[in-house]
Amino acid sequence: LADVVVATPPWGLRDFGPDVDVHDPRWAFGRPSPRSDGIWLQHTIAHLADGGRAFVVTPRGELDRSGPPHALRQELLRQGAIEAVITLPARLFSPYTAIETALWVLARPGQTVDKDGVLLIDVPTGGESETSVDGFSGVLAEYEHWRTSAGAGDMPYSVVVPVRDLLDPNIGLDPATRIRRRDAPSPEE
């Protein structure tokens, strides 16, 4: 078991072998689906020591996919294994791929900073400005603030969302969607 697991697994790998044992303890959140990159999320959590964290990069689409990926996200949320989701700038992995990506911060079930909330951060693409994240140092500072105080700062690119809201069957984990909802005018406004 490890205190930290960092993974950028092979996205889109669809052949896990003919003998995926559904009783393997790594699949505590549901049976692996060959149509999902979520198998890597489960695999990294299974290798975490108590108090450890896993940082896994997946395609951004994994935040909103329906079917088995949705069921996996729901179970990860229910068991308190998702601490944060950070969408990364477009073309971060260029020239190798233009796929938009997301970084998942995971913990063993029930060991996240706040079992009732998930930190969502949207790293904008482009130059630095007062409303952008000062590169990755701003993201790191926001995550550190979350880890030490279980609260998000007043950054325009991050939001803490209650797990109960993320369990809505029509909602994914994309931070940009949640930030737009937070910043939308209320009916009174």
The structure tokens 């029930």 sit at 110
Helix (H) or strand (E) run with residue 56 in it? strand 48-59
What would the pLDDT profile of 58-89 be if each residue is shown by its tens digit?
999 999 988 888 999 999 999 999 999 999 98
What is residue 110's three-state secondary structure?
coil
Question: What pTM, to 2 d.p., does this model score?
Answer: 0.88
Average pLDDT estimate for 102-112:
95
The structure tokens 């549901």 sit at 30
**What confidence score (pLDDT) does residue 134 get?**
57
